[in-house]
Amino acid sequence: MIGVAQIGCYIPEKKLSNLDLLEKFKTDEAFVRDKIGVVQRARKEKDEKASDLCIKAFENLLTKQNIRSEEIECCVVVTQNPDFNIPHTSAIVHGALDLPESCASFDISLGCSGYVYALSVVTAFMQANGMNRGLIFTADPYSDIVDENDKNTALIFGDAATVTLLDADAKLKPLGFDFGTKGSGFKNLISQDKLYMNGRAVFNFTASTIPDSIHKLLDKLKLNKEQVDKWYFHQGSKYIVDTITKRAGLDKEQVIFDMYEYGNTISSSIPLLLSKDILHFQKGQKIALSGFGVGLSWASAILEQS
Amino acid sequence: MIGVAQIGCYIPEKKLSNLDLLEKFKTDEAFVRDKIGVVQRARKEKDEKASDLCIKAFENLLTKQNIRSEEIECCVVVTQNPDFNIPHTSAIVHGALDLPESCASFDISLGCSGYVYALSVVTAFMQANGMNRGLIFTADPYSDIVDENDKNTALIFGDAATVTLLDADAKLKPLGFDFGTKGSGFKNLISQDKLYMNGRAVFNFTASTIPDSIHKLLDKLKLNKEQVDKWYFHQGSKYIVDTITKRAGLDKEQVIFDMYEYGNTISSSIPLLLSKDILHFQKGQKIALSGFGVGLSWASAILEQS
């Protein structure tokens, strides 16, 4: 069984402060800190593309783990802000990292549920094809599409990228997943020229759907929530993570929250959190992940350290 | 094991004739018929989007097979011309077809190798998650991005969509796959404002890579090419299919070719061909599929009727 071995991250050094925008948006520090949960947003350079962010995340991975390019059998990029629509960004990353020609590459188009989906899609794909080592990249640079005058989105999103090394020998393995889609609500989070988000609709969707998804998954795996040690939710906002925590009846101490210094980084939010803990799980420990947003879409997973 | 149960197709009724363009591009009928292999190109209406084409393919599927929406556990769209970049087109299709909320949905971004990739990705994903019925849509309307004055692309591409019903009880099942990527060549097939294709580079890549991929896959499965009954290659052009046939030493009679009346339909080309034969395979018969293009990317598969 394929598991998560290590995670590399890239958060741009440049930060834009929400505290500078309090007057512009007629709001206050308590709101940006305690409701949104974002004090500053990480911001890539204008000409940096998704593939550039992926490559920087890979460079970070190399500082944590020795990897030979020729061992990589699978290269997947999760993005909805690709370099181009044609070709897929994973091909560009494949070329830049000089991965072997036998390496399978494709992009998955999903937003904030993308990382959790990709953990299932890519581990299953690798397993079915007898692959031992693969990479899942997440990179969704929303700074290219956010309208800086739109209060509903301008204070929230940050740029980042991650790369997760999947390995047949890794000890953190998925036990099971729950997926769902509410396609009838797709217009609530959409980018035509610029990003539009109906914040209230997305919030209501999440607050009702995610606690259900967690309980459904626990039931399926015959677990109760006390058997889960840590909860990693997509960092949509502090208010949504707090609301899920309350509605699902979780212990606040076990729910990870950390987006103050870089913002909501879409599919990168969960692996950014996980990267800090990845080497510290104890045998038998279980963790839960849950992503939700664009689609509307959600995905939850429980992983166990073996 | 998940297999291919049925395929629904949509080819727009409107056709544009290449014979009307012979003078414009200073070419002749022999070239468009015998080299390109496209006499007319299927053309969607301007305001039709990828999701609209998917829905029409699904309507065609319903004329062939009774399907209840609530049975569908997985909805995947393969496209590089999505309705929007955010959300994924599969969410829009999910909403339009009123699929259940428990249905997993995501897009795969791949070009001409996309259908073969998706057969592996989606069957593995369904298998790993205990799903029994799923849909793979292909829809890549190149008419939105082709420059009608570019001889390298204007005579080739047609619009179409397909939907493949995957089912745990279906008898046509994948035996194995071969995948590959040559990301260093990604600039040879790219869309920024409009589509650009370095036809010679893509041809040379394909002519050398695909015969190797086929032989590699046959070796892996301990089969020889005489044990394969039919060959379904991506219909890039007549010249490329003929070249692969020759270089791989295949019997021309067993290599399917049919794009004269609608053109190169990207990820829909293989399922369009397969849809005609899907109910006529005999027990034990083996077929091969191979897609190649954008990325540069390729994927080959061998399927067997059980």
Domain architecture of chain B: domains with CATH: 3-167 (3.40.47.10), 172-305 (3.40.47.10)
ipTM over 0.95: yes
Among A186, A206, A296, most B C-beta atoms within 10 A, so best to mutate, is: A186
Distance CA A266, CA B89 (A): 18
A199 has a chain B CB within 8 A of its CB: no
Please provide the DSSP assignment of A229-289 as one string: -EEEE--S-HHHHHHHHHHTT--GGGB----TTT-B-GGGHHHHHHHHHTT-PPTT-EEEE
Query: In the block, which residue shows the tokens 């925008």?
Result: A21
Average pLDDT taken over every residue of chain B: 97
Sign of torsion over alpha carbons B68, B69, B70, B74 = positive
| Residue ranges of B 89-108 with Cβ closer than 8 A to chain A | 89-96, 98-99, 101-108
Residue B269 parent element (H or E): helix B269-277
Provide the β-strand partners of residue A172. A4, A305
* Local confidence band at A157 (pLDDT 50, 70, 90 cut-offs): very high
Question: Which residues have CB under 8 Å from A27's CB, separation 6+?
Answer: A21, A151, A155
Whether residue B180 and residue A102 make contact (CB cut-off 8 A), yes or no, is yes
Residue A75's pLDDT is: 98
- Judged against a pLDDT cut of 90, whether residue B162 lies above it is answered with yes
Q: DSSP label at B105?
A: E
List pLDDT tens digits, range B230-273: 999 999 999 999 999 999 999 999 999 999 999 999 999 999 99
Question: Which residues have CB under 8 Å from B282's CB, separation 6+?
Answer: B305
Write out chain B residues lying below 8 Å of A86, CB-based: 80-81, 111, 145, 189-191, 195, 294
Rounded to two decimals, what is the model's pTM?
0.97
Residue B183's pLDDT is: 96
Whether residue B109 and residue A107 make contact (CB cut-off 8 A), yes or no, is yes
Task: Give SS3 for A77.
Answer: strand
Distances (CA, A) of A231 to A165, A273, A278, A299: 21, 10, 13, 13
Task: Give SS3 for B285.
Answer: coil
Question: Under a CB-based contact definition with an 8 Å cutoff, are residues B139 and B53 in contact?
Answer: yes
A18 has a chain B CB within 8 A of its CB: no
| Residue ranges of A 55-94 with Cβ closer than 8 A to chain B | 75, 80-82, 84-94
Whether residue B86 and residue A145 make contact (CB cut-off 8 A), yes or no, is yes
Distance CA B173, CA B304 (A): 5
Chain A residue closest to B176 (CA)?
A129
Distance CA B151, CA B24 (A): 9
List pLDDT tens digits, range A244-295: 999 999 999 999 999 999 999 999 999 999 999 999 999 999 999 999 999 9
Nearest to B189 among A86, A92, A125 (CB): A86
Chain-centroid distance of CA B193 in Å reads 23
Residue B193's pLDDT is: 86
Nearest to A295 among B81, B105, B180 (CB): B105
- Judged against a pLDDT cut of 90, whether residue B1 lies above it is answered with no
